[in-house]
C-alpha cells in the first residue's frame, strides 16, 4: 500500500508531514496511513501539471502516442487486477466480485479512450462551409489544459479512470484528488502510470481532505478545468469557485432516481432489477433507483416478493465468498443513512424490512437492506438522496401518474421503466426528465454511452465521445484565401 503523494513523477510526504488514517469499514481497524496534502503540495502538483502541459509537450504528442501510454496503463491495471480489487474491498467495503468488476471496467476505460485518442489523429480538422468563397475555415479540437479531478468514494478506481483516461487521451494533464476515505487505489493508479513511464507531471495524485486539498485545487488559478463527482453542495461550491476565472466544469451530482414497473412486467424480473438498482454497492450509487413506483395490480405481490428476497441477501465482509452486501463505506455514511431511516419513520414511513444493524455484526459499518413503504411524497425520504441500501416503494394507477411522480424531483440523473409493451416503455423513456434511462433493467453502465444528469444532477456528460469533449476546446481557423485586397480602409 502506497502512503505518499504522487507529484511530478515522484513520491513525497506532505509538506507538513501530516497523514490521515485508512479504515477498513468491515472491521473498523486502522489499516494504513496516507499523506494529507496541503495547499502548498497542491500548488506544486498544479505547477508540475502546468509545465507538463505548457512546456514538456504532452498535448503535442500525437493521439496515437498518448494512446500507447493509456493502453499500457490498462495492461498494468489488468496485470494487478486481483490485488487491486482486494485493496478496493478493504478500503471501500464492497463485495469482491463487485470490486473485480470495477477494476476490469477501469482498465477497459483506459483502452476505450486510447481508441478515441487515436481517432483524434485521423479526423483532426473539420472543414466549415462558408457563404463567402474568399475564405476557408476549419474547426480543430485542442486539449483544455490542466484538469483538476475530484472524485467520490463509491467507485474509487473507476471514478479515477472515468476522469483520468479521457483527460489524458485529450492531451490534458491532471491533478487528481481521491476521497479521503478511499485513497488506496488512486495511488496504485499513479504507481502504474509511473511504471509505464508516463512523463512526470502528466498525472499527479494528491490525497487528503476535501476542505484542504480539494479546495486548493478548485481555487487554483492555473487549473483550467474542474471535473467532479460527488454531492450537490460541494458541486455548488465548485461551480462558484469556477465562476471567478471561468474554469470549465463538468459535474456529476447524484439523484433520486425512479423505477417504474407496469402491471405487465414479470414480478421476479422486476424484483431482481429493483434489488440490483438499490442494493448493489450497498446502494451507494449516484444512479441508484431509490424510488420504486409499481402499478397497483402488481403492487402487493411484488412488495412481498421484494421483502422475501431482500431478507435473503447475504451480508458480510466483502472478502468472504457469497457475500452480496458489505458494510457502508464509513462511520459517517452509516450514521447518515441510519438518521435518514429514522427521519423517514418519523415522517410516517413503514419499514417493510431492514432498517437496522444486522444481528451478529456489532463491528463494521453494516446495515440491513431496507424497504420502506408509505413514504410521504413531501418527505426527505422520498425526495433526498439517502445513498445507502434503502428503497422507497409506492403504487400508481395510470401511465400519466407514473410519469408525473417519476419526474417530480429536483434531480434527473437516471430513471428506469419495466414493461413488456415496447411502445409504452419507449413512451415512458421519452417522457423521463433524466440523462440516463434504462428499459427493463437498472444500472448496467457502458463506457461507450454518455453518463450525466438533467436538472440538479449535474452539468456535462462523461463517458463515450462526450467524455472526451469534456477535456477539449474547439478552435476555428479561418483563412483569407485569395490574393485579393480587402479594400475597407486602403482602396
Contact between 253 and ligand NAP by CB under 6 A: the answer reads: yes
Contact present, 415 and 257 (Cβ < 8 Å):
yes
Cell of 245: 476565472
Site string for ligand NAP, 375-414 (x = CB under 6 A): ----------x-x---------------------------
Residue 165 to residue 74: CA distance in whole angstroms: 10
Window contacting ligand NAP (CB under 6 A); options: 77-85, 226-234, 372-380, 465-473:
226-234
Grid coordinates representing 442 are 437498472
Among 59, 63, 201, 254, binds ligand NAP (CB under 6 A): 254
- Contact between 116 and ligand NAP by CB under 6 A: the answer reads no
Whole-angstrom distance, CA of residue 491 vs CA of residue 488: 7
Taking the C-alpha atoms of residue 16 and residue 436, their distance in angstroms, rounded to an integer, is 43
Q: Taking CB under 6 A as the rule, which mask of x and - marks residues 54-93 in contact with ligand NAP?
A: ----------------------------------------
Any idea what the Cα angle at residue 163 is, between residues 160 and 164, rounded to 5°? 75
Q: Which of 180, 286, 368, 462 is catalytic?
A: 286
Q: 94 or 248, CB closer to Mg ion?
A: 94
Q: Which of residues 256-295 bind ligand NAP (CB under 6 A)?
A: 286
Nearest distance from C-beta of residue 23 to Mg ion, angstroms: 5
Determine the angle formed by the axes of helices 156-170 and 184-195, rounding to 10 degrees: 40
Give which of ligand NAP, Mg ion, none residue 100 binds (C-beta under 5 to 8 Å, depending on kind).
none
Q: Give all strands (DSSP E) within 340-403, no chain letters.
A: 350-353, 370-373, 390-396
- Piece of the chain touching ligand NAP by CB under 6 A; list 103-111, 211-219, 318-326, 480-488: 211-219
286 is catalytic: yes
Contact between 229 and ligand NAP (CB under 6 A)? yes
Q: Where are the alpha helices (DSSP H) in 314-360?
A: 331-346
Q: Which one among 218, 274, 306, 391 touches ligand NAP, defined by CB under 6 A? A: 218
181 is a site residue for Mg ion (CB under 5 A):
yes
Cα–Cα dist 255/414, whole Å: 7
Pick what 252 binds: ligand NAP, Mg ion, none; C-beta below 5 to 8 Å, kind-dependent. Answer: ligand NAP
Query: In terms of CB distance, is 91 or 105 closer to Mg ion?
Result: 91
Phi, psi of 372 (to 5 degrees): -110, 135
Helices (H), 130-286: 156-170, 184-195, 215-219, 232-244, 267-279
Strand boundaries in 335-376, DSSP class E: 350-353, 370-373
Rounded Cα–Cα distance for residues 366 and 220 (Å): 38
Give the interface with ligand NAP as residue ranges (CB under 6 A): 150-154, 177, 179-180, 209-211, 214-215, 218, 229-231, 234, 237, 252-254, 286, 385, 387
Give the interface with Mg ion as residue ranges (CB under 5 A): 91, 181
Catalytic residues: 252, 286
Amino acid at each position: 500500500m502506497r502512503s505518499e503523494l504522487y507529484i511530478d513523477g515522484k513520491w513525497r510526504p506532505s509538506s507538513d508531514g501530516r497523514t490521515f488514517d485508512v479504515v477498513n469499514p468491515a472491521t473498523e481497524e486502522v489499516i494504513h496511513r496516507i499523506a494529507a496534502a496541503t495547499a502548498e503540495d497542491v500548488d506544486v502538483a498544479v505547477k508540475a501539471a502546468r509545465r507538463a502541459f505548457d512546456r514538456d509537450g504532452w498535448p503535442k504528442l500525437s493521439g496515437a502516442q498518448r494512446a500507447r501510454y493509456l493502453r499500457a496503463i490498462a495492461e498494468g491495471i489488468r496485470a494487478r487486477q486481483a490485488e487491486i480489487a482486494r485493496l478496493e474491498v478493504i478500503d471501500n467495503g464492497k463485495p469482491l466480485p463487485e470490486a473485480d468488476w470495477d477494476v476490469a471496467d477501469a482498465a477497459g476505460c483506459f483502452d476505450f479512450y486510447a481508441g478515441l485518442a487515436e481517432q483524434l489523429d485521423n479526423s483532426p480538422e473539420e472543414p466549415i462551409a462558408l457563404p463567402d468563397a474568399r475564405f476557408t475555415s476549419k474547426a480543430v479540437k485542442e486539449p483544455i489544459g490542466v484538469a483538476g479531478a475530484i472524485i467520490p468514494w463509491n467507485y474509487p478506481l473507476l471514478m479515477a479512470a472515468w476522469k483520468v483516461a479521457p483527460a489524458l487521451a485529450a492531451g490534458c494533464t491532471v491533478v487528481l484528488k481521491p476521497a479521503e476515505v478511499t485513497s488506496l487505489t488512486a495511488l496504485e493508479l499513479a504507481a502504474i502510470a509511473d511504471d509505464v513511464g508516463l512523463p512526470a507531471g502528466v498525472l499527479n495524485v494528491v490525497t487528503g481532505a476535501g476542505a484542504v486539498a480539494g479546495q486548493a485545487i478548485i481555487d487554483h488559478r492555473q487549473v483550467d478545468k474542474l471535473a467532479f463527482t460527488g454531492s450537490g453542495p460541494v458541486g455548488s461550491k465548485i461551480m462558484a469557485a469556477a465562476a471567478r476565472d471561468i474554469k470549465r466544469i463538468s459535474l456529476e451530482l447524484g439523484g433520486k432516481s425512479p423505477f417504474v414497473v407496469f402491471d405487465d412486467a414479470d414480478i421476479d424480473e422486476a424484483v431482481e432489477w429493483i434489488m440490483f438498482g438499490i442494493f448493489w454497492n450497498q446502494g451507494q450509487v449516484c444512479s441508484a433507483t431509490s424510488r420504486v413506483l409499481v402499478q397497483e395490480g402488481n403492487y402487493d405481490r411484488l412488495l412481498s416478493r421484494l421483502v422475501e428476497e431482500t431478507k435473503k441477501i447475504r451480508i458480510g465482509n466483502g472478502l468472504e465468498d457469497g457475500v452480496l452486501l458489505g458494510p457502508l463505506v464509513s462511520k459517517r455514511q452509516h450514521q447518515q443513512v441510519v438518521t435518514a431511516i429514522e427521519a423517514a419513520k418519523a415522517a410516517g414511513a413503514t419499514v417493510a424490512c431492514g432498517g437496522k444493524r444486522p444481528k451478529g455484526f456489532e463491528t463494521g459499518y453494516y446495515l440491513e437492506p431496507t424497504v420502506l413503504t408509505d413514504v410521504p411524497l413531501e418527505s426527505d425520504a422520498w425526495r433526498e438522496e439517502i445513498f445507502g441500501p434503502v428503497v422507497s416503494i409506492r403504487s400508481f394507477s395510470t401511465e400519466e401518474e407514473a410519469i408525473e411522480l417519476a419526474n417530480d424531483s429536483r434531480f434527473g440523473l437516471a430513471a428506469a421503466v419495466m414493461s413488456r409493451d415496447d411502445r409504452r416503455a419507449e413512451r415512458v423513456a421519452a417522457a423521463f426528465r433524466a440523462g440516463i434511462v434504462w428499459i427493463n433493467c437498472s444500472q448496467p453502465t457502458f463506457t461507450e454511452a454518455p453518463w450525466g444528469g438533467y436538472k440538479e444532477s449535474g452539468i456535462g456528460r462523461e463517458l463515450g465521445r462526450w467524455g472526451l469533449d469534456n477535456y477539449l476546446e474547439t478552435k476555428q481557423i479561418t483563412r483569407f484565401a485569395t490574393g485579393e485586397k480587402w479594400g475597407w480602409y486602403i482602396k
